Each structure stands twice: as C-alpha cells, then as structure tokens.
Structure 1
Amino acid sequence: MALLLDADPDEAAVRAYLKTADILVANHNTAIIGIAVLTHQDGGFELRNIAVHNAHQGKGIAKQLISEIKTLAKNKGATTLEVGTGNSSLGQLALYQKCGFRLHSIDKNFFANYEPIFENGIRCIDMVRLRAKL
C-alpha cells in the first residue's frame, strides 16, 4: 500500500479502486519494488496508479510495468489506455510519452481543492490526461 500512496495519497480512493482492479507487481528477491494498477470503468481502461521504489527507479521497471499493463488491457478488449497525472509531474509526463502515450485532455483545477502539492517548483493544479492506442 505504501508504494501506491506515493503516487496517490488518497488512501480511501486507493482502497476503493483496488477492489475491482488488476494489479501487477515487480519483485526483487522477496520485496515488492514496483506496482501498477489497471482499472476498467465507464467503458474505458486506465493505468490508475504506478509506482517504483526510489532505490529502483531509473532501471526500466516502470516502462516494463507499463508495457505489461498495456498488454493486459489489450487482452481484456481495450483499444486505448488512459493515464492521468499532475501538470507538475514532469518526470511522469516524460515517461508516459516515452511509453507511447500522447496528450489527450486537461481536467482544469482537478487538484485545486486538495492539500497543495509542489513538484519541480510548480504547483499541481490540473490533471493532464494521456492516451495510448493499443
């Protein structure tokens, strides 16, 4: 759960979507070092959460998890996969685009009423949605 909360600090929301989600994990020895969550609702598939332990970042683990999530979604009948991230999450925006996602839409002020989050000196206010064709 701790890794998931790194990417989405709303524990109640995480627990709610985990009930019906598909979960993939990356292991090192006996430890979970990465996790990705696929949800299906409203006729669409979403990479709802992905996180890799800090000590294992930059080793291609997130890219591998995304590749496997895309395959899983396609096998479940998806033709596209969506992911959302904050406007200030520059590393995540780069990662998703490297993995074949393209900018799709912006949910303006999505995070405006949450506890302020700053990344890269930028306040996270908007949700940037990306979409990949499968």
Structure 2
Amino acid sequence: MSSEPGVTIQTFTDLDAEHMTLLLEADPSERIIHDVFTNSRAYEIRVEQALAGVMLLVRRNTDTLEIANISVDRAFRRQGVVSSLIDRAKTETIRLGLRKLEVGTGSTSFGALCFYQTCGFRMDRIERDYFVNRYPRPIVENGITLKDMVRLSWCLQQPK
C-alpha cells in the first residue's frame, strides 16, 4: 500500500491528540504510551492527508526491534495499512542490521494473533499476568479478562 499514490509512511516526533487517539486503541494507558513514545521511533501512515495508522518501534537489545504499539483508524482497516506498517518495521529491522522483529499482543486478541502469523511472525513465549500487573483496571476483550501477553517474532533468515 505505501507505494500507492497518496499513501505515505513517515516518522513523526510530536505526539499530538490525533496520534494519541489511535495509540489508545491499542493500549489504554496514556502514561505507558508517553513512556514508550519517548524511547521509540514513531511512524505514521497517511492516505492522502488523513492519518490512517501509527506505529512505535523500540530497540529492545542488540538484535531485536519491537513493535511496541501499532494501531489503524477504523476507516482504514482491511485495506493493507497495517501490513504496510509491518513491512516498514521489517525494513527497519534489516536496515539496522538486527536479527529479530518482535510484537506482543493479548492472549485474547484472536484476530491479531492470526494476522501476525499471516505476516510471518511465530509465537515465542507467553508473559503470564502481564496485563494484570501493568494496568490498574481489568481489560476485557472478546468477553474474557485479559491476563497474558503473547510474544511473537519475525526472524531474518540466516545465510546457510
């Protein structure tokens, strides 16, 4: 999608209300979003002039980049916007000479779990009680109280 006319992916450095509104759809804590944002490289994707999606990338260690937050405006879902952002994250992983791109999502986020796997991510591990320990109020998704974080990764293939 990003190579289509009128579609741009670019970094941004000012976290405004429009970005925050989208990021809050993926993480209900403004404080956590601000903390992540200060340590991230932030990307936005625009279709014409409309903000379609945002993504925060954080370098976790010497070989891993993490998609710490990614969200797409409801009007632009199922149009390839999130796939374009993930492709940009993969490109950044390669550009930085890193081996792995990681993403975490809730164990009750069934659509996201399926989608990330279609993008080439594989399940790595489960962080038990991640959401219970991090957020003061329960998060309910798909009728289930969210407790655990599922970590998935996409690894750059090593030469044989």
- The TM tier, using the shorter chain, reads over 0.9
2:45–2:53 CA contact under 8 A, matched in 1: yes
Deviates more, 1:36-45 or 1:58-67: 36-45
Choose which of 73, 77, 92 in structure 1 pairs with 2:97. Answer: 77
Structure 2 match to 1:89:
109
Which residue of 2 is the match for residue 7 of structure 1?
26
Per-residue deviation, 1:29: 2.3
Within the alignment, does 1:21 sit opposite 2:40 as a pair? yes
Counterpart of 2:61 in structure 1 is 42
Deviating more after overlay: 38-47 vs 77-86: 38-47
TM-score by length of 2: 0.79
Provide TM-score, normalisation by structure 1: 0.93
Moved over 4 A (4+): none
Q: 2:139 aligns to what?
A: 117
Which residue number in structure 2 is paired with residue 52 of structure 1?
72
Q: CA deviation digits over 1:29-72, x for unaligned, max 9?
A: 22211111110133331011100001111111111110111111
Structure 1's unaligned 5+ residue stretches are: none
Q: Which has the higher contact order (CA 8 A, sep 6+)?
A: 1
Q: Based on CA coordinates, which of the two structures has the bigger radius of gyration?
A: 2
Q: In the aligned structure 1, how far is the partner of 2:93 from the partner of 2:32?
A: 21
RMSD: 1.2
SS in 2 for 1:4: helix
**Partner of residue 8, structure 2:** none
Which range moved further: 16-25 or 1-10? 16-25
Task: Report the Cα distance in structure 2 between the residues aligned to 1:75 and 1:87, rounded to whole angstroms.
Answer: 30
Cα distance, 1:129 vs. partner? 0.4
How far, CA to CA, are the matches of 2:131 and 2:89 in structure 1?
26
Aligned pairs, how many? 134
Counterpart residue identity of residue 35, structure 1: V
Equivalent pair of 1:38/1:73 in contact (CA under 8 Å): no
